[in-house]
Chain A
């Protein structure tokens, strides 16, 4: 180090003597080179630039020029590296160095203005140098990584750390694992090939001899025909990269396998005099190597908040903070940690990270993007974390719970992990194509979450970088290619396979009915076979007359209705049936009618038919669809004993889970009643679609049989104005017993059968097509054959009861394996219709394949994932846990542990944690606790200027973690501190505030998630984990804060900082209302120590952060408060309007101006950088 550098170093340390100072000044005055070096350093050490004693010696342009012109790069002497060293060595004392005592800020401002003018984006844009490729800097990765390397000439090179990244980035595309793009038969990804003879060459790499190694010759060649990488690859090696290759070769070109594929070993922690355990020791060792020094611990109040946010996703209460701060016992911190780990909120918080990875959502995701019911899986994840299920079990159950012996309901629910992928039912979609897409998605997700491998790259070709062949990929996807269920989701919420979870009251019936239904179905099959001959005989003799005259038992009357006045708004087709029913509340009956629905506007209803005397009788209405599906129609049936007394049964079908009866086309409608005296005894619908799920049921008949009188009844048909004139009821029949709906479908189709008979006769054919034959078969068995008909009636009753329970049960999508072995085909270029060889399910060859004792199905895969030999699962998992606590993983690319991923910042620590995790029995809570117990975690988060240079992203943790909270945590925190949070754990998704039109603007017009309706009560205030997640239009207040769309697996979130976030926090009613409720908390009796503006502000801050407001902040908030009262005082109506924000009623107050002003201060608190940041 030369003298000048020493001087600057001492100056930064603040240890420069007066003599030395004069010496330095003299040099700067005299030597342009010294000035240049000094100004370069100004970029690293701001205090140098501001040093008023030196500053006059520097020319302004010198001070500015290096940064603006960017001409610092060409320093051949390697000075930059040494200067950097100075910066590191002086880390602690530098900020306190020469204080800026006398400089004139005006100067700086002036210069600032000038440079701004010359740097307007437009100007920069215009002036940018436009060479073909020259001005482009290589796009950086999306995170800042400072990985220390030996670098440059002279240091010891590590293949994995230094060389492989260069080769993989620049060479593996043509000289890597993918045989299809490989050039010259040369591989640089496997040792043997790189060192064996190639054509005229002894080897691509000659150990110890860089100059004669072809690889080095090619990368340093100046000939266009020789240079590597070739120009058309758009890649170039930097001088530093070339020198690393050079040094590596002359050091012997030692080869290493990729670290992530080697089994982790638990190395002894390095000796350390800092910290309290192995983790701290590993962290400290790296800091020593980098000349970083750890921060002091944060104060307890800060730690109380940090821990609560990290462990539960919610802030602490003031009481919790006070307890921790005042608890003098040595285990106070640990007990605080344990208490947080034991709260249900812990599981909710951990589940949220997992659900990003599992791409959980409440809709299918493609095309119609309809509701999908899989929230029980979400709740299972929450519970699994809360009962601290060992991670290996957690894994096995999610990957293959269905394949475990006698799986429990929980183990089946867990397999929802592989059912969270987006699915479609788009009209023209092709099964094979989507089968391939789904298997790929499931395989990619499992590989990302457990292995940190990007296997999806190998769907079209061998992986370009990692040793994963295309065959490996399809073997892996085969595990997920064997589901026993349809490919198309049919736009229903319950796409099979699914798990039905009836309510407790239904459980026994459900169990019984499933058995009975199976038995009944078997019985039907048996009878059908037995009666086949009878059918053949019947068919041989059948005539149109036989068909036409077939009816149902118990028909009381049947009327053909003709509208009396086609143009009239209301048509009454009065008809007095010859036979009337002696009707009581226990009289069973069936009504069947032919009806064509009119198109109804939202809110409309129309009478389909009735027998009603004004107080007694029945009425059948058509209603417009409910709020989710206004275009669909519903039916409402009322069975009324006494309208005046409110004694009636009524059932209204729900549109959002059922298609409406075919509209604008006449169809058969049926209502049947079993005489049970209960609304559950009413069945209604279109014969092929039973509307049994009702959103409105009235069940208010008096007990016992009443009203045994005869009524003179009549039927009527009504239709609204402007409706289709052909709409209405044309036929109506009444039966004295309940008939199952399916028989009416057959009656409806009589005409078709007659037509077929005529056709057959005309053509002279003796045989019917099988499709036609089946229609006669159904007709015969269901309506004619006495044995079968009776059995079918029984089966229909069982089936109906079964379906009723099904429809009101909670359903969750699960996995179920087909009988056949799991196989897949290699798809050429990933195209579903270009099938190649068949392959059996297996894990990648590089990882040794599936051990023989493991079954070749998902269960084998699951066991292998958590087997001791698996080098990845534990590493990948502890890395994500680390990331959740420290903000960035030890491997910054948690989704990619492959060759293109980042090397770990602390490889030994990662391995130590991985082994420890496994040895602990995959104990997640213990792992998290272990991390937060460290001194590394407990440091304060203050950033020291010099250390920031070395470690801007805090990879080496010489300070505590500090970063913006996730959107869910920000919202939950606002709800929590305002006292609004409704902390129910689990349940169906909820719909909190959302601006209008978010769904409707993009949704398919027929989607059942087209219209968003906010919940009215608790649903507005639940944790964000429970917010309804529509994949094609996720909640904006979450995506604005970088929540992923849940369309694919995501294990890392960005943390952007944007104006839209500011707008959300300031104006989203959720946050405005939370601010008001925080103000209300302070205004409530006992809510503040002192009921003064200052007292209330202090109180609100305490609720928000758990601890006391710092004086300076209190000053600002109080000053703001006074200004708000002034402004709101000018507009008291505005103040009143402001506090009305949100669905909850504001607290009644005498002084709305003060209330509004306090609310605005609460909003200020909730917009502070510290409020939305963990630190």
Chain B
């Protein structure tokens, strides 16, 4: 907001409080402070950056009020889940034709292989729903929601290794340091609530291969944006939000008393220096205090009925699982958290895919179904955007030894599958297509930049116009290269 305007508001308040201080206790002050400071009199709508974001208002009518991003870190195999390639059965252990590979660069993991034998998926695929989308047997529950989502089979990226690729899809650049998608949304659109962070991140346990790729706090970092826009990790271990709990032995009553004293003195300090930051500080302490009760309420699932847990599957009762986090995300969405992102690791199946992939799928399949169904039954699916997917795909050719029952797949950035749903996304479509090897895109390519542009678009934001000046650049989530909203998946 205009800092001058902000100051004038405070100045008004200062006079007011100056005259009232003797008559008005601190309880009244603390009751007044947050509202008056965060959206008080004489503040135009859409000008307070904390509440409304830098954009003030969206560029066009938003479809999504909030979003839930289910991120599969490590790159799920599109070939064994969504991208059905029945012709491959006949090509078992045949070499991938050079014309298909077409000189594409390989990772260091398979660039030394003598040959690239085709590893057909060993899983059965069937068509589901009215849309007739193909889904493998590994995802029996996701198969039930194909008519609610848009499956994009033609995602692609340039990055071939995890660290740069995941940084790329999350921040728009392969080199660390740029703001993440959630930070951009927080920065641009601001908060929907008074008691909780705007952008929340949940990390999940996984049951596939234990050696999982690292990820990085940069994936929900704010880069050069002010740090209040960085994602707040909601943890299943220790305090759900860092430093949320009072020290042992300190009750909420004592905390309240402590804050009353601090606020009273801070008010004095404000009188002495007239610095608006001091008032902002009072309101931030008040929000911290509210979070101390609102976050535990949020993370206490005891008020959820059994049928809800049943919907998400039995894992949803186990803190830290993907299913638990899905349920938590729904609660976050209900309470006005703008954007939550669940990270699920362990999808990097270079070898032993048949051993690990089913476990990974089992972690997420029921929960995805539960989340969509739950959002639908609460009438929230219309304005909640749900996105599912990883940083790239996997190769049709085998990495390591190929047998009838065992294979591994290397990184494959040239095509892979993601899905999205809710908030103005077309229901029951399969968008884009790949060649018979799921190696190259044959129809409607969607770059990860396009996906990000589309996500912003659903939030009412023109990706060209959400930017931040930094080191001489207008930083944008979609970077400097072209990005297009994928109209084909929008209703």
Contact = CB atoms under 8 A, between A and B. Distances in A.
Interface string B259-276: 011101110111011110
In the complex, which of the residues B36, B227, B470 has the most CB atoms of chain A within 10 Å of its own CB atom?
A: B227
A454 B471 contact: yes
A702 interface: no
Contacts of B160: 428
Contacts of A1054: 226-227
A997 B235 contact: yes
Interface string A7-46: 0000000000000000000000000000000000001111
Nearest to B460: A130
Interface residues of A, number: 151
Contact of A132 (B60, B228, B269, B284): B60
A767 to B, nearest CB: 22
Interface string A91-133: 0000000001000010010011001100111111101111111
A1113 B16 CA distance: 21
A411 interface: no
Contact of A1141 (B52, B107, B243, B247): B247
Interface stretch (A332-340, A1057-1065, A1088-1096): A1057-1065
A1069 B2 CA distance: 37
B277 A1001 contact: no
A93 B260 CA distance: 33
A111 B42 CA distance: 10
Contacts of B292: 1063
In the complex, which of the residues A428, A1036, A1116 has the most CB atoms of chain B within 10 Å of its own CB atom?
A: A428
In the complex, which of the residues A47, A121, A943 has the most CB atoms of chain B within 10 Å of its own CB atom?
A: A121
A136 B251 CA distance: 46
B472 A465 contact: yes
A1060 B265 contact: no
A258 interface: no
Given A67-B43, A1001-B203, A1042-B227, A124 B52 contact: yes
B261 A1072 contact: no
B113 interface: no
Nearest to A1152: B249
Given A135-B57, A428-B109, A1136-B249, A1032 B473 contact: no
A1062 B266 CA distance: 13
A68 B44 contact: yes
Interface in B46-66: 46, 51-52, 54-61, 65
B8 interface: yes
B274 A945 contact: yes
Interface string A366-400: 11110000000000000000000000000000000
A1003 to B, nearest CB: 6
Interface stretch (B89-97, B120-128, B207-215): B207-215
Contacts of A105: 16, 19-20
Contacts of B288: 1059-1060, 1062-1063, 1066
B59 A1058 contact: no
Contact of A121 (B190, B248, B250): B190
Interface string B101-123: 00001111101000000000000
In the complex, which of the residues B177, B210, B465 has the most CB atoms of chain A within 10 Å of its own CB atom?
A: B177
A144 B39 contact: no
A408 interface: no
Contact of A144 (B3, B19, B111): B3
Given A111-B41, A1003-B214, A367 B163 contact: yes
Contacts of B265: 1112-1113, 1116-1117, 1164, 1168
Contacts of A899: 472
Given A43-B42, A105-B20, A427-B161, A49 B4 contact: no
B444 interface: no
B14 to A, nearest CB: 8
A64 B248 contact: no
B77 to A, nearest CB: 17
B291 A1056 contact: no
Nearest to A1053: B227
A441 B473 CA distance: 16
Contact of B269 (A422, A1131, A1170): A1170
A677 B190 CA distance: 70
Contacts of A1113: 265, 268
B175 interface: yes
A127 B237 CA distance: 41
Given A366-B163, A952-B3, A1004 B212 contact: yes
A119 B248 contact: no
A160 B241 CA distance: 48
Given A136-B59, A427-B109, A1134-B249, A124 B46 contact: yes
Interface string A446-483: 00100000101100100001100000000000000000
A454 B472 contact: yes
Contact of A46 (B8, B216, B227, B249): B8
B218 A1120 contact: no
B134 to A, nearest CB: 30
A1123 B261 CA distance: 10
Contact of A43 (B5, B20, B247, B465): B5
A261 interface: no
A1063 B246 CA distance: 9
B253 A1138 contact: no
Interface in A1090-1136: 1110, 1112-1113, 1116-1117, 1119-1120, 1123-1124, 1127-1128, 1131, 1133-1136
Given A943-B274, A995-B242, A424 B257 contact: no
Contacts of A1164: 258, 261-262, 265
Given A108-B16, A1003-B214, A1124-B257, A130 B273 contact: no
A1134 B11 contact: no
Nearest to A1058: B228
A1040 B16 CA distance: 33
A1066 B255 contact: yes
B466 interface: yes
Given A46-B12, A1116-B261, A949 B212 contact: no
Given A422-B176, A997-B238, A119 B39 contact: yes
A809 interface: no
A130 B232 CA distance: 30
A130 B60 contact: yes
A1059 B287 contact: yes
A68 B42 CA distance: 6
Given A121-B51, A1033-B217, A1138 B250 contact: yes
Contacts of A1139: 249
B281 A1057 contact: yes
B327 interface: no
B7 A1120 contact: no
A457 B473 contact: yes
B233 A1001 contact: yes
B305 interface: no
A1116 B35 CA distance: 24
A963 B277 contact: yes
Contact of A1061 (B12, B251, B272, B284): B284
Interface string A1069-1080: 100100000000
Nearest to A1041: B227
B400 interface: no
Given A112-B40, A116-B40, A949-B7, 20 more contacts: A47-B15, A112-B36, A125-B52, A125-B57, A128-B45, A130-B460, A144-B3, A365-B176, A426-B162, A429-B108, A430-B108, A996-B238, A1003-B214, A1004-B211, A1037-B243, A1057-B277, A1063-B291, A1117-B261, A1117-B265, A1140-B248
Closest 6 CB pairs of A and B: A428-B107, A1138-B249, A1004-B214, A1137-B249, A1134-B249, A128-B57
18 contacts: A68-B44, A125-B65, A128-B46, A130-B60, A132-B59, A132-B60, A428-B107, A429-B161, A465-B472, A898-B472, A963-B277, A964-B277, A1045-B177, A1047-B176, A1067-B244, A1139-B249, A1141-B247, A1169-B270
